[in-house]
Amino acid sequence: MATTRVRTKAPPPEALAEVRERILATASELFYRQGVRAVGVDLVVEKAGVAKTSLYRYFGTKDDLIAAFLQREDADFWGGWDRVAQANADAPLAELEAHLRWIAERVARPNYRGCPQLNVAAEFPDADHPARRVATAHKQELRRRLNRIAERLGVERPDELAGQLALLINGAFVSSQTLSAKEALPLLRHAALALIEAARKARRV
């Protein structure tokens, strides 16, 4: 007697996307709050309410999941940056000050634990680690965007000013635990203006 094979219907694409996003959102929260080395995949699947096979279906390894976490953070950060840039397309100084304002608000949040890219880079010294490559690319992009603003400001050595501003911003990320909510913006703004003025004086010499 022939057996009848029952075909199971594959889940719709939106359901698959929902499972992937739930895993990634759960992992992102845990990684950011506790550190990526401290969080295992067993904890991620438990909190996400999925099977471990589902995690490995969407993310081949834990390293891939960490990289996806940083890519998610990357997209969120540049989304905020782009909104500010578009609103100040014709005014580079106003654009920079607006960026510093929302970055200051970011580091002043009660649950802020520093820049996720810097945090992960500190946990993984291997430059070839997938997540470390994402973190490095993020910081290179920050420098590139700041260099573009510096060029529009008309300073003599825009790359040097961009490097100084990147150091200032990354310093704020690292120092977020010791900054009060009210001092982040004035510190960033006054330091940035001093760097710009010094760069402009160098051009006049």
Q: Is position 148 within any domain?
A: yes
Q: Are residues 54 and 130 in the same domain?
A: no
Give the pLDDT score at 110.
Answer: 86
Q: Are residues 134 and 149 in the same domain?
A: yes
Task: List the one residue out of 52, 42, 41, 43 whose CA is nearest residue 19.
Answer: 52
Q: Are residues 133 and 160 in the same domain?
A: yes
Q: Are residues 149 and 51 in the same domain?
A: no
Give the pLDDT score at 125.
Answer: 86
Instruction: Find the mean pLDDT for residues 4-8.
Output: 50
Q: Are residues 53 and 143 in the same domain?
A: no
Give the pLDDT score at 67.
Answer: 93
Q: Give residue 51's domain range.
A: 12-60
Each residue of 108-131: pLDDT tens digit?
888 899 999 999 999 988 889 988
Residue 130: Cβ within 10 Å count: 18
> What contacts 184, CB < 8 A, 6 or more positions away?
104, 105, 107, 108, 172, 176
Q: Are residues 85 and 55 in the same domain?
A: no
Please name the amino acid found at residue 138. H
Q: Is position 93 within any domain?
A: yes
Using 50, 70 and 90 to split pLDDT, how confident is the model at 205? low
Q: Are residues 48 and 86 in the same domain?
A: no
Task: List the one residue out of 81, 98, 93, 84 whose CA is nearest residue 154.
Answer: 93
Q: Is 140 exposed, middle or buried (0-12, 13-18, 19+ CB in 10 A)?
A: exposed
Give the pLDDT score at 111.
Answer: 87
Give the pLDDT score at 176.
Answer: 86
Please name the amino acid found at residue 11. P
Q: Is position 16 within any domain?
A: yes
Q: Are residues 102 and 156 in the same domain?
A: yes
Each residue of 44-79: pLDDT tens digit?
999 999 999 999 999 999 999 999 999 999 999 999
Spell out the alpha helix ranges (H) of the chain.
Answer: 13-34, 41-48, 52-58, 62-87, 92-107, 116-123, 130-153, 158-174, 184-204
Task: List the one residue out of 77, 75, 67 whose CA is nearest residue 128.
Answer: 67
Q: Are residues 56 and 103 in the same domain?
A: no
Each residue of 163-198: pLDDT tens digit?
999 999 999 999 988 888 789 999 999 999 999 999
Give the pLDDT score at 202.
Answer: 74
Q: Is 41 exposed, middle or buried (0-12, 13-18, 19+ CB in 10 A)?
A: middle
Residue 146 pLDDT exceeds 70: yes
Q: Are residues 36 and 73 in the same domain?
A: no
Quote the percentage of the chain above a pLDDT of 70. Answer: 91
Q: How many domains does the chain have?
A: 2
List the structure tokens of 132: 């470390």
CATH code for position 105 = 1.10.357.10
Give the pLDDT score at 5.
Answer: 54
Instruction: Find the mean pLDDT for residues 140-147.
Output: 98
Residue 9 pLDDT exceeds 70: no
